[in-house]
Every structure is written in structure tokens, then in C-alpha cells.
Amino acid sequence: MIEKINDLIDLTEWKTKKQINKELQVYGVQINERTFRNQIESHNQQYFAHQKDCFMAHHNGKGYKMTKDTEEIRESLRDSLKRGLDQLSKYHKGIKALGENANFNLSIKDNELVFVED
């Protein structure tokens, strides 16, 4: 699906979801937010499996971009990591607020961040 969108409009430049929708309307194409995000996730999973040569990057404020640029991909992945850590922090605070033991550790193992709940 993302490839079809990329065939219709140029995703090699940063575009917000609003810009993408506006450009797609010219072709009579509409895509809802959930479907769009799922299609990006599916595409990027194929990139991770070396089945696609471009990554659909996301950047707060800039939007989305189809890229092969390793720095843009790293920046997008760092943003995903930050979002994940924010979610872990919210989980910890929520469990703590419930009065339960909410101890966890973050550590690096084999150059990857590992979440360990005590």
C-alpha cells in the first residue's frame, strides 16, 4: 500500500499526514490514520527483513519520508526508542500509583536495550 502511495505522490521529501492526504485526494484516494500507520509498520517490517530497500521514516514536525539515508533512518529509530522508553516510564508510574511493586531495570545487552522487571 505504501508503495502504491509512493507511486502516486513523491514521498522522498518530508510530508505531513495532512499533506499526504491532500495530495492523494487528487487521485481519489483516501486512507485513514490507523490504516496508514499499519501500512508503514508493515513496510518497515519488510525493510527490517531486508525485503525492502527503503525505510518509511517518521519525524515529529516534519512528517513522513521514504528514505535510504542511514542517518534519517537512525533518527527515526531513536525517536521510536524514546517513545518506547516513555511508555515504560508511564507503565512504571501507573503500577507504582496502584501501590504495587514496580521495580524495573533498563540495561544494555549485546548492544541492545533490555527491559527487566523485578
- Phi-psi region for residue 58, left (φ > 0), alpha (ψ -120 to 50) or beta? beta
CA-CA distance, 43 to 65, in Å (whole number)? 12
Tens-place pLDDT, residues 40-74: 999 999 999 999 999 999 998 899 999 999 999 99
Sign of CA dihedral 40, 46, 50, 52: negative
Cα within 13 Å of Cα(82), Cβ side: 9
- List phi, psi (to 5°) of 26: -60, -35
Residue 109 has pLDDT above 80, yes or no: no
* Percentage above 90 pLDDT, the chain: 48
